[in-house]
Amino acid sequence: MTRRLRWRVEAAPPQDRLDAYLAARVEGLSRSQVARLLAGGDILVDGASASKSEAPRPGSEIDISVPEPEPSHLEAEDLPLVIVHEDRDLAVVEKPAGMVVHPAPGHRAGTLVNALLHHISDLSGVGGVRRPGIVHRLDRDTSGLMLVAKHDRSHRALSAALKRREVRRRYLAASWGHLDADALEVDAPIGRSSSHRKRMGVVESGRAARTRFARLERWRAADLLRADLDTGRTHQIRVHLRHVGHPVVGDDVYGSDWERGFGGRDRAWAAELARRAERQFLHAAELEFRHPRHGRPMRFTSGLPDDLRAVADWARDG
């Protein structure tokens, strides 16, 4: 079905281009979508076709025919998924560990996107396709809160807020050994590792990255940390903790066999912690942002999932 809209230009608009004017006023339409509709003759101004650079005139009647978003080629799958919050613009979900976010070679099914297509019924489309807009990502073996947009306007607004560092993300992580102080800020650029092309690392030519860590608990040979992201680079927390000599417990990429470096009684304790941590001890625990529609602050929290909570309970008693 085609959605038909009629718009009247009431006064001289601040935008001097039709595509910018409509993108700023018509919900669910991005500037690129408006341009496509204009090129296809689906937008008429006073009954005639118009160009995207045409200036809107006060009193003009604009008729818009918006085709339904194309169906996604991805399959909706009834996978377990906790939806913490949902409204007409966005959803906040808890991604379980072991779930890949986007379909990719080797992961065509069983992803978060497949699950979202099943659980969220009113996706109006991102980029003209009925699919969820992923605002930020989590690694496959990282659990916790993720922010998802339901339509283009929400996706653009939330992505811009993330770029301006107005979306706060806080994680819980366990790291090997002990930080020198209860608080630590790591400001080190991250880029592709020159020695391991599938890994990231701290490199001079990398993109700026800053993480703030605070120790919450001191275990025998590991710390429980809170990590606040000021930027959002790939594997940022994992890379920064490896950089300062305290990789994430259970991280097979950046902290493999780290437990073997301990001596004395700590060696046996570390070996047991490594055995119990069947995946990286990293959980997206808090998410804060302003709603893209009404601007009110939104805050969500998520406690440690059962597998990580069991590891932490043992570590406290060990």
Catalytic residues, by residue number, are 139
Residue 214's contacts (CB-CB under 8 Å, 6 or more residues apart) are 182, 183, 184, 225, 226, 228
Residue 112 CA neighbour count, 13 Å, CB half: 31
Nearest of 304, 317, 316 to residue 223 by alpha carbon? 316
Rounded alpha-carbon distances, angstroms, from residue 14 to 55, 73, 196: 10, 39, 51
3-state SS class at 303: coil
Q: What whole-number distance in Å separates Cα of residue 156 and Cα of residue 159?
A: 5
Q: What whole-number distance in Å separates Cα of residue 281 and Cα of residue 175?
A: 8
Q: Which two tokens stand for residue 115?
A: 């699950």
Residue with tokens 């006060």: 58
Q: Is the sign of the CA dihedral 225, 254, 234, 94 positive or negative? A: negative
3-state SS class at 19: helix
Q: What whole-number distance in Å separates Cα of residue 241 and Cα of residue 121?
A: 39
**Residue 203: φ, ψ to 5°:** -135, 145
